[in-house]
């Protein structure tokens, strides 16, 4: 909607008006250029453009993932349906259009990956996916510095501080299958926390994440997420990362995850859970420096897509599994017999590529103490 009409990493374009253009895609990128729900700094309307364009690699529609050994853009495959038209100042019309777009993509059997936009958009995003997966059958994993569970924001039901409350109230997502990771700071107050507890939400504040370890918290989330649910929506607010590593955002809260933490966590979510929808929100380019935040968001999208492609490859085309990475790792060789090679992310990078064995000889080293002097100094 703003700026050049480019697709994410150069993947083929699709048209929401023409379902055939995305029918065979595994994931469809959608832009949600909306910041009418921000409570402080605006600018997230430029997020989709920045997430699509910020890259030092060619926009060639290929991104072979080193650790996972998949190219999600060609394997899933991924297409980009452009931006949904979201008008500044017309919040309900804008959210309605986005919900319609996400629903259409989900009902075509594709995973919508929505580039925000402020966090208001998760209400229509997860609602649209729940319409396809089943009302109350969609778990939600939410990375954020903020809970976004206020009842109203400046008196409005819609804004970036309220979407999680709207999703639980409507029943699209049940409170007890709503998992929040990375909360911190000075909001919300006791009344809202009481409401969250009543709904059965599980919210990991940063002090708990640091004490118990992010990996351990994720294990706990993964063990519960699929109980009574059929799929998961992943919502990533870039402000879950420390403002030192993600300064370009509207409501920065110091003391967050590292960029590395978030990329690993998103990858694990996509590898270990059957994702049915993703959004990456709150990138505000006017407040960014050296594109630090836009780069991170671009990579968050790629980690999610790569994890999904890995999961699909690991299942050997037999559909989603609910096994954990640990259980999957035990299955050696991984994948279906005769199926594609499945890389374990922590295996040595060049393993299995015909590299010669590491020499064990203890002969003289070329520059040891007995080597000739380098000459006059
Ligand atoms: Mn948020």
Tokens of 184: 């911190």
Distance between Cα 158 and ligand 1 center (Å): 13
Look at residue 282 in the predicted model and tell me its pLDDT.
98
Look at residue 335 in the predicted model and tell me its pLDDT.
52
Domain spans, the chain? 8-330
Tokens of 332: 């050696």
Query: Does a cis peptide bond (omega within 30 degrees of 0) precede residue 188?
Result: yes
Closest to 130 (Cα-Cα) out of 76, 170, 82: 170
Chain position carrying tokens 């993947």: 11
277 close to 28: Cβ distance less than 8 angstroms? no
Distance between Cα 148 and ligand 1 center (Å): 6
Distance between Cα 38 and ligand 1 center (Å): 10
Assign 370 a pLDDT band (cuts: 50, 70, 90): low
Cα–Cα dist 73/270, whole Å: 15
* Percent of the chain's residues with pLDDT above 90: 84
- Architecture of domain 8-330 in this structure: 3-Layer(aba) Sandwich (3.40)
115 close to 27: Cβ distance less than 8 angstroms? no
Look at residue 375 in the predicted model and tell me its pLDDT.
73
pLDDT tens across 71-114, in order?
A: 999 999 999 999 999 998 999 999 999 999 999 999 999 999 99
Distance between Cα 133 and ligand 1 center (Å): 23
pLDDT tens across 343-364, in order?
A: 999 999 998 888 887 777 666 6
Closest to 103 (Cα-Cα) out of 277, 234, 255: 277
Distance between Cα 44 and ligand 1 center (Å): 12
Residues 6+ apart with CB under 8 A from 134: 230
Distance between Cα 145 and ligand 1 center (Å): 7
Position 324 pLDDT exceeds 50: no
Classify 43 in phi/psi space as left (phi over 0), alpha (psi -120 to 50) or beta.
left
Tokens of 5: 């009409």
Residue 376 CB neighbour total at 10 angstroms = 4
Tokens of 347: 């295996």
Residue 280 is inside which H or E element, if any? Answer: strand 275-281
**Predicted TM-score (pTM) above 0.75:** yes
Q: What is the mean pLDDT of residues 24-52?
A: 98
Distance between Cα 237 and ligand 1 center (Å): 5
Distance between Cα 359 and ligand 1 center (Å): 52
Cα–Cα dist 127/115, whole Å: 16
48 close to 32: Cβ distance less than 8 angstroms? yes
């Amino acid at each position: 909607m703003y700026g050049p009409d480019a697709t994410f990493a150069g993947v083929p374009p699709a048209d929401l008006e023409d379902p055939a253009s995305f029918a065979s895609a595994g994931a469809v990128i959608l832009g949600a250029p909306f910041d009418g729900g921000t409570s402080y700094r605006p600018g997230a309307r430029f997020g989709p453009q920045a997430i699509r364009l910020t890259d030092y690699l060619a926009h060639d529609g290929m991104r072979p993932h080193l650790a996972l050994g998949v190219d999600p853009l060609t394997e899933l495959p991924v297409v980009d349906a452009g931006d949904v038209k979201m008008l500044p100042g017309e919040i309900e019309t804008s959210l309605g259009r986005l919900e319609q777009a996400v629903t259409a993509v989900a009902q075509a059997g594709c995973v919508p990956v929505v580039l925000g936009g402020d966090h208001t958009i998760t209400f229509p995003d997860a609602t649209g996916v729940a319409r396809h997966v089943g009302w109350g059958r969609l778990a939600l994993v939410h990375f954020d510095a903020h809970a976004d569970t206020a009842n109203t924001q400046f008196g409005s039901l819609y804004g970036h501080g309220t979407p999680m409350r709207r999703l639980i109230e409507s029943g699209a997502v049940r409170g007890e299958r709503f998992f929040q990771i990375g909360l911190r700071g000075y909001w919300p107050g006791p009344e809202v926390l009481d409401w969250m507890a009543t709904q059965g939400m599980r919210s990991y504040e940063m002090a708990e994440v640091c004490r118990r370890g992010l990996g351990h918290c994720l294990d706990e989330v993964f063990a519960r997420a699929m109980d009574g649910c059929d799929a998961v929506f992943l919502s990533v607010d870039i402000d879950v990362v420390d403002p030192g590593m993600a300064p370009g955002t509207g409501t920065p809260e110091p003391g967050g995850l590292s960029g590395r933490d978030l990329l690993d966590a998103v990858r694990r979510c996509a590898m270990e859970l059957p994702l049915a929808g993703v959004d990456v929100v709150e990138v505000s380019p006017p407040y960014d420096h050296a594109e630090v935040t836009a780069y991170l968001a671009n990579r968050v999208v790629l980690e999610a897509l790569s994890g999904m492609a890995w999961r699909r490859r690991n299942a050997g085309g037999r559909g989603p599994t609910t096994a954990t990475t640990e259980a999957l790792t035990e299955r050696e060789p991984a994948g279906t017999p005769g199926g594609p090679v499945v890389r374990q992310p922590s295996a040595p990078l060049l393993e299995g590529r015909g590299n010669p064995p590491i020499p064990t000889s203890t002969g003289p080293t070329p520059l040891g103490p007995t080597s000739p002097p380098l000459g006059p100094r």
